[in-house]
A = this chain, B = another copy of it.
Amino acid sequence: MGMRPLFHPKVEDITVEGILHALSDPVRVAIYAGIVGQDCSHNCSTFLTVSDKTIPKSTLSQHFRALREAGLIRGERRGVEMHNTSRCPEVEQRFPGLLGAIVNAHTIQSKDEARAKRSGAKRPVRRPAKNT
């Protein structure tokens, strides 16, 4: 079986559920934040490890697919590697303020976690870890 062509939803087909689901995963937000951060491109292998955890490339591939199919990023094959860009403007047009609020919330949380870690507190994580 060959590789199927990359699917990208049209702006009007992007759903809130899709976006929330895509960004409810720590690895995916990390990836997404990375892509949004440097608004230029970004290829996959930049994200081989997220928060001290090595993500297998097959898993990474799936995560990128999830982000793509949620309409959050646009992927383009550039020779042997991928060129990923954020679709922020489009999403912003459809759901104003949504992405900003999410990214912002994540920033807040990261700072909190950093502070908690420094003070040695072991905050219980609500969303149960998926595997060990």
Contacts and interface: CB of A to CB of B under 8 A. Distances in A.
A60 to B, nearest CB: 18
A69 B126 contact: yes
Interface stretch (A38-46, A48-56, A81-89, A99-107): A99-107
A20 B20 contact: yes
A56 B100 CA distance: 36
A12 B9 CA distance: 36
A123 B16 contact: no
A5 interface: no
A35 interface: no
B126 A71 contact: yes
B12 A102 contact: no
A109 B24 contact: no
A70 interface: yes
Interface of A: 9, 12-21, 23-26, 29, 69-71, 94-98, 100-102, 104-106, 108-109, 112, 123-127
Given A16-B102, A100-B101, 11 more contacts: A13-B124, A13-B126, A16-B109, A18-B24, A69-B126, A95-B104, A96-B101, A97-B97, A97-B100, A98-B101, A98-B105
